Structure 1
Amino acid sequence: MQRRRCNLLAAAIDGSSGVSSASGKGDGGNRAVAKEQMKSKNMEKKKIGSLKRVRGDQVQYRCNMISFFSTMQRVKEHLTEGHLELLQQTPFWPLISAFYSGAISEDQCKKSNTDIGNIIKCYNAETMGFEFGTTSASLTTEDVAEILGLPLEGQEVRQLKGKQKHISDFTKRYFEEETLLLKKMVDDALDAAIKGKRKTDVEDVARLIVIELCATLLCNTNHVVSWNLVKYCDDLENISRYSWAKAVADFLHESLGKRTRKSNGYSVPGCVVVIMLWLCESTNLIQPIKGREGQKPAIVKWSVWELHFKLGEIDVADIGLSF
């Protein structure tokens, strides 16, 4: 991805490097040349900025399955029965176990940001549905629960975004000096907790894995982790009281609504990959992976990459014919 971005920028520079060589005599000629060179440089900057934005339009759909997949690959050999027992008590275990057991492969974590962008353009913020030609279809909380294996019933999760630091014994152990929490800091804390010998380390590993899951897949807001999210994940005793399916669905719909209302906005936080999985589950565009037809959560049944190739064969408006 980085190499391709560099190639694009190089192409932009090469394409705009033909600066006019017109010159004149004396200061007037020099000023003319300087003016022409400045104009060319400005055009070059504008062109490069435009290319960056095009790439940004593709890459800033922030849900990242491969990130959590990589986290589980890194730590699963170090997880003890104590860790797994605590994780099984969380509402996220069906999803975590899919990554832990290998039911979700690296290939299943691949997604096309172009596909996601095209589908998101069909979102109607007023109806909270997707319009494919004459067909309107809605991604519901029930769909999110079925696809991700999250609880449908429970108390409402209030305000997952928040900059005010959550202070607890847990955050003091790992993030005492931090005011802005980055994903890299959570990665480092998880590595430290797994190697740790304190009594609290076993519970902290469970907390940090849940934070990783939410921050990279379910309620992704780029590299910054919300302190409100940390607050919910810190409380392992009460974390199962909430409807996490509704929290994930509401977070995504809010992000989609803001995106479609902004003329210059393209950054969409939230679990955007669930949109593609919903298309797999709700249409006849592709078939489940052979042998997984009845497995749950539904995320393990589908190859989003296979959907990518199917979408390349049809117009976006024709998706409505597959419901």
Structure 2
Amino acid sequence: MPHEEVSKGIIEADTISNLPKKLKTKKLAGRKPIEITSSSVPKASHERHAQSQYNLRVRSPKNQGINIEQAAPQSQPLRKRPRIVVETQETQATEESQHIAFNRCNMQAMIRLMNGFPVTPALKDSLKKTPFWHLINAFIEEKVKSDHCRKFDEVVVKIVESYDANTRTFRLGNKHVKLEREYVKLIFGISCENEEINQSYCKKENVQLAVKWKIKGKRLDTSIIKKLLKEKQNSKLEEDMDDIARLLCLFLCRTLFFSTSGTTINWVYVRYMKDLNKIKQFDWAGAICKYLLKSTHVEHKDPKEVKGSSILLLYWLCEHSNIPNQESPDSIPRLLKWNIAKLRKALKDVKQLQQLPDEKVKDGTLEQTIEEKVDSEFEQHEVQQDAGEKDEVNQHEVKNDEFVELVEAQFEVQQDKGEKVEVAEVENVSDSYESQPVSFRRDEVTSPKYNSDSTLEPNTLNGKSLPQEEDECLKKLVDNILDDSKKYAPAMVDELTEERHSISDNLTIKIEYLEKHMEIEKQSNKDALAMIDELRKEKDSITNDMSTKIERLENEKK
């Protein structure tokens, strides 16, 4: 059997290991002898079977297999892979090797997830409730470019190695620079308040969303998040839109904010996603900064073990240095301003960041630009306006519901007595509620049951059809509102008149005050002019006296 396989030019790894020593150097049909090393072959390689001409390519420098292109007969044509495919596979292999060595913090995962993801206006409304809306919207609008945000771990290592544990700062040249929560907010575009997030361990049993989403595993990983997103992405329900917003935020937490070398996320962050209306109250920027700095402080001598948003360090270095140039200076969030691939090239010959010249390091702290201030103020105004409108709607709905309940109770009492229901009774109920407008719905009002002793027909009120009664009731309510407005109109007119008179009086007083000041100034100006005239006259008089005396003395001298 070994002789037949040698003549075909195909040798499997397990066959090679079982060949006799004599055959290991035997010439094969006029070809050069095949050099075979005695290095151990992994168990997985023994189980792998050659299914195509690519299965036996050399997989390591130790020649743990035989290259099929060398062992194949000359008559067999060799199919070459396209150059693009080769480069893509090499790039993916580089990324995978980096992820094995370092934590999995990256932005490529979110780019791939949002590519083709259906985003409806309802989903955008849900996402705007979260602190990460600006960042997620940048992914939705494809502003985050894959080749601009690729993380390079050699740059991360240089930044982590520049950490000074004594001062808890980073050494850039001769300067000590801090990483603070405000920088996280500006770089990632996070809008949040200051309530602290407790990042201690949390059990799955204490998380309501885990029960709601029917998560069976002990941990929440990215595969489960993607599965849930796929199930809900075509839904039109408001609750499902909120769930998608929660899941996208959790995906960012796992891949970007609180990354580790694994694929799971702590349940504590899931717990904070429960109420989207309160999620902005918590200090997410502070939690991201604290998580990264705590790990850096412990592992700065072994950068591969650092957890958290390591890619944040690259953008932070761009903001605090003049090394790369900005791609788009006015972008929000700030990570869109930079191409961190250029940062890698610029630092290629710099072994330590302490070697940076002082002119390459910026002084001072990061401050909001005009665009960021305007955006922040507009967002706060929007939130306050939405909250006010929501409170007003809720209050209005409560009053409407109370009114409908009272009307229903009134109808039930009357139908139990077998009496007629007068429209006037409905009017009295409306008066007790300050003439608030009510949305009268037919299904909300229980019509009296038919009673043979009653004068009412089935489905009627006061002998009239139900729609007619509704119209009359609404007309009465409108009349009441108009009467109230007429009643209070004179008082409002009087109040406005008094206010106008008050303003007029104040203006009159101010005008008189200004006129007095002007008169005083004029008088002072007149007095000053008179004094100047007197001084001039006195000067002329003294000059004349002096000239007279001089002439008299000269005459006496002669």
Distance 1:64 1:9, change over 3 A: same
| Contact 2:170 2:178 survives alignment (8 Å) | yes
Q: Does 1:187 align with 2:237?
A: no
1:82 equivalent in structure 2 = 122
Local SS of the residue matching 1:136: strand
1:280 equivalent in structure 2 = 318
Q: Deviations over 1:108-155 (max 9, x none)?
A: 221211111122111123322112453321111121111111136320
User: Aligned partners of 2:103, 2:210: CA distance in 1, in Å?
Assistant: 28
Q: Deviations over 1:138-184 (max 9, x none)?
A: 1111211111111363201111x535115555322434322122111
Q: CA deviation at 1:258?
A: 2.0
Q: Bigger shift: 242-251 or 161-170?
A: 161-170
Q: CA deviation at 1:283?
A: 0.7
Within a 5 Å distance, the mapping from 1:253-264 to structure 2 comes to: 253-260=293-300
User: Aligned partners of 2:58, 2:101: CA distance in 1, in Å?
Assistant: 14
Q: Does 1:225 align with 2:275?
A: no
Give the TM-score, by structure 2 length: 0.45
Amino acid at match of 1:312: K
Q: Relative contact order (alpha carbons < 8 A, sep ≥ 6): 1 or 2 greater?
A: 1
User: Aligned partners of 1:93, 1:210: CA distance in 2, in Å?
Assistant: 9
User: Aligned partners of 2:222, 2:237: CA distance in 1, in Å?
Assistant: 23
Structure 1: gaps (5+ residues): 1-6, 16-54
Match of 2:255 among 209, 212, 216: 216
User: Aligned partners of 1:8, 1:284: CA distance in 2, in Å?
Assistant: 44
Match of 2:193 among 128, 136, 153: 153
| Contact 1:142 1:152 survives alignment (8 Å) | no
2:487 equivalent in structure 1 = none
Local SS of the residue matching 2:176: strand
Q: Does 1:63 align with 2:63?
A: no
Distance 1:218 1:129, change over 3 A: same
| Sequence identity percentage | 26
User: Aligned partners of 1:58, 1:281: CA distance in 2, in Å?
Assistant: 28
1:94 equivalent in structure 2 = 134
Work out the number of aligned pairs and report it.
Answer: 270
| Contact 1:152 1:243 survives alignment (8 Å) | yes
Local SS of the residue matching 2:170: strand
Q: Deviations over 1:13-54 (max 9, x none)?
A: 359xxxxxxxxxxxxxxxxxxxxxxxxxxxxxxxxxxxxxxx
Amino acid at match of 1:68: M
User: Aligned partners of 1:272, 1:9: CA distance in 2, in Å?
Assistant: 31
Q: CA deviation at 1:267?
A: 2.0
Amino acid at match of 1:60: F
| Contact 1:152 1:246 survives alignment (8 Å) | no
Amino acid at match of 2:137: S
User: Aligned partners of 1:183, 1:176: CA distance in 2, in Å?
Assistant: 12
Give the TM-score, by structure 1 length: 0.76
Q: CA deviation at 1:85?
A: 0.6
**Considering only CA atoms, is the larger Rg found in Structure 1 or Structure 2?**
2
Structure 2: gaps (5+ residues): 1-56, 65-96, 362-558
1:299 equivalent in structure 2 = 335
User: Aligned partners of 1:271, 1:240: CA distance in 2, in Å?
Assistant: 20
Local SS of the residue matching 1:131: strand
Local SS of the residue matching 2:245: helix
| Contact 2:222 2:263 survives alignment (8 Å) | yes
Q: CA deviation at 1:197?
A: 6.1
Q: Bigger shift: 280-289 or 175-184?
A: 175-184
Q: Bigger shift: 118-127 or 192-201?
A: 192-201
Q: Could you list the structure 1 runs, at least 4 aligned residues long, displaced by more than 4 angstroms after superposition.
A: 55-58, 166-169, 196-199
Amino acid at match of 1:172: V
User: Aligned partners of 2:300, 2:245: CA distance in 1, in Å?
Assistant: 36
User: Aligned partners of 1:202, 1:152: CA distance in 2, in Å?
Assistant: 21
User: Aligned partners of 2:130, 2:194: CA distance in 1, in Å?
Assistant: 13
Question: C-alpha root-mean-square deviation of aligned residues, in Å?
Answer: 2.5
Q: Bigger shift: 236-245 or 189-198?
A: 189-198
1:318 equivalent in structure 2 = 355
Distance 1:143 1:184, change over 3 A: same
Q: CA deviation at 1:198?
A: 5.5
Q: Deviations over 1:182-229 (max 9, x none)?
A: 111111111111134665322111110111111111111330111111
Q: Deviations over 1:238-259 (max 9, x none)?
A: 1010121111100110111121
User: Aligned partners of 1:56, 1:103: CA distance in 2, in Å?
Assistant: 25
